[in-house]
Amino acid sequence: MNIFTLPDVGEGLTEADIANWLVKVGDTVAVNQVIAEIETAKSLVEIPSPWAGEVKELFAEVGDTVNVGDNFIAIEVTATADGEESPQAPLVGSGPKDDTPGRRRRRGRPDRPAPTQVAEPEPEAEPEPAPAQKSDLFTKVLAKPPVRKLAKDHGLDLAAITPTGQHGEVTRTDVQSVLDGAKPAARAPQAGAVGESETIKVTGVRKATAQAVTDSYTSAPHISVFRQVDATRTIEYLETLKKHPRFENVKVSPLLVLAMAVAQAALQTPQANSTWNGDTYTLHHYVNLGLAAATERGLIVPNIKNAHELNQRQMAEAIQELTQRARDGKTQPTELADGTITITNIGVLGLDAGTPILNPGESGIIAFGAIKQQPWVVDGQLEPRWITTLTGSFDHRIVDGAEAGAFLADVAAILEEPALLIS
């Protein structure tokens, strides 16, 4: 009988939570068949079997935290035709992947510890708030990405499946019950009933986020500055880009201009794009731009490597790809490592401004407020203009008021006149 221990599926991860077992004792498994889903501090990962054979023991239950190297599953390996046990196969679908096919490889950078995620939401921006509608929190069906894929592959509507998960999510068992024609299990008591209290176990991304923001806020003295910006020219500029053939099939939003502006400004004021080391600090003359992304599992900050090298089309594609992978639960550990500065879009939440907490290991984060039409004085006359508020939070050990002001001024200048991007 062979014992498979929990592997390190990321970059130096030490533990993971069992999200779902996809096999049980007595099942027969094939090489690279997915046997479990685990939730790390960085992503939801499917674990494939390294052997073909019969499952003899599961060493943990759903919800348990397992350390890397701990016993995970026992399998009685099937003998081959010559009587030998089948060898352990390379695991498929675990661990970091190379750059996305079709994207040019970025040049290497000095290694440093991977930053932990901050709790700042970051979907993509739109100039006007959407018409009032019922919140997604009440309309969206909860399910993990592998469960969504299983339902989609079999043409099932998740909304029509009775969820039995602890927090009202549709589980793989729920989907499989429908496929098997079985009567669905009773739905678990739902959280948040009026007049009651509930206790939630802190795991996965939420656990990592809690630790990260606590460490960041208590170790780095934050300073926050604000600047109102007339983004009217940005809105006009984006309308032009949307009609251009070069930007066909790619989402164009104010976030694109902000990302380009921050990438340029970070090179002009490297103090905002640096790392505190204790008795030294490192100025990064390249930009790995973090995008705080809201996902079903929590808030993570994947980053665009060498964002300062990208043209506008490449930046738009990178934003679209990175945020979509985050929402699909497919973010790779390499995409979460080595960020140098972060942007977070709080405008999509209807917020004008906020004071974001730094991503650990970084000295700057920019919050992008809602873009709204407001009366604005132009050449002594009141005009309706598209106005937004930028908030910058910085590590005051490195960034003083002068650097913070200069950095925001450079970002604001591009939002006020995006033609500067090609000057």
For the chain, the maximum distance between any two Cα atoms, rounded to a whole number of angstroms, is 90
CB atoms near residue 85 (< 10 Å): 14
Quick one: which H or E segment has residue 391? Answer: strand 381-395
In sequence order, the β-bridge partners of residue 67 are: 15
> Which H or E element spans position 295?
strand 293-295
Quote the CA–CA distance of 205 and 191 in Å, as a whole number: 20
Task: Report which residue type is found at 363.
Answer: S
SS3 163: coil
3-state secondary structure of 397: coil
Pairing of strands 289-291, 341-345: parallel
Query: At residue 128, what is the residue type?
Result: E
Q: Are 355 and 337 in contact (CB under 8 A)?
A: no
Known catalytic residue at 396:
yes
The token pair that represents 214 in the structure block:
């606590």
Q: Of 301, 296, 302, 284, whose CA–CA distance to 97 is shortest?
A: 302
417 contact partners, CB below 8 Å, separation of at least 6 = 233
> CA–CA separation, 229 vs 366, rounded Å?
14
In the set 167, 244, 308, 396, the catalytic residue is 396
The residue behind tokens 């606590």 is 214
Give CA 382 to chain center in angstroms: 41
- Helix locations, 95-224, DSSP H: 136-139, 145-153, 172-180, 204-219
Q: Judge contact between 376 and 230, C-beta under 8 A.
A: yes
| Catalytically annotated residues | 396
